[in-house]
Chains A and B, each alone.
Chain A
């Protein structure tokens, strides 16, 4: 799974709800849910030092 361009996104209430990422060439919104396979892979890559997640803009 190739993941790039990760950034936290806030919902309309200002809660950090998703991570916007480009995964295998497609822009996706990944929920902060450990059961979600994309989020689990983002966490793994962050912990391995292979990926960083930008703060919300």
Chain B
């Protein structure tokens, strides 16, 4: 396992879809751009495709490697945790691990400190494949790199991008990338639209808050309305549905990976604020 500061951004001759981490640029924040959680469990709370633990996680930006990019700022909280403190992501396409891979990520903090990066977890076997590596973090951006040998997984694998954060420190994380090979290449910048579409396979939120932008329905019987909603992209699995609009009683639902049917009463035939969650 090796850590190194790696290739300069000027060597951007590497092209193509290299980064297997979805939203590795932290561009998509459908749930919230600022969340302070007191939960002791991992959960999807802020930046898309990443689970976080207790503490405050929010969106900011900074110039990293000569380019202004989105950054995840983490202020970890003290107290009880479930499995650590930091962030991790899970990869549905576990066959990428058939060959050696390398994880890279930029990190800095408000003062010199430490953290772990790169723990690899096999959810099929419920076991750690590779432990995290402790790195020394400074107030300047550094790119860290962790190499993995070829692995065989039976289902989704999880990467702890950063973990074991120190209370009282503020951490900044940017541009996480997992790619095939033994050395990290420059970060692959993708457009917001590309990244959002990838994220919506796992989660999307219907909520633009406008009274004329509801999911419209028809009267089924009595005060019961029914609505069909086509997802923006096909989802990974039938999604869990939760409703943030509290204007009535959401009475039942049925879904596929492409669409959902709601029935509800007491909402005058309109509904808005619906979460569709098919995360790993």
Query: Chain A interface (Cβ within 8 Å of chain B)?
Result: 1-2, 9-12, 15, 17-18, 23-24, 26-31, 33, 35-39
Contact = CB atoms under 8 A, between A and B. Distances in A.
Contact of A27 (B43, B238, B242, B254): B242
B242 A36 contact: no
B177 interface: no
A33 B238 contact: yes
B211 to A, nearest CB: 23
Interface of B is mostly: strand
B242 A31 contact: no
Contacts of B250: 29
B41 A24 contact: yes
B69 interface: no
Interface residues of B, number: 26
B242 A28 contact: yes
8 contacts: A2-B41, A11-B254, A11-B261, A18-B252, A29-B241, A29-B242, A31-B240, A39-B240
Contact of A36 (B226, B240, B254, B263): B240
Contacts of A29: 240-242, 250, 252-253
A24 B278 contact: no
B229 to A, nearest CB: 13
B263 A12 contact: yes
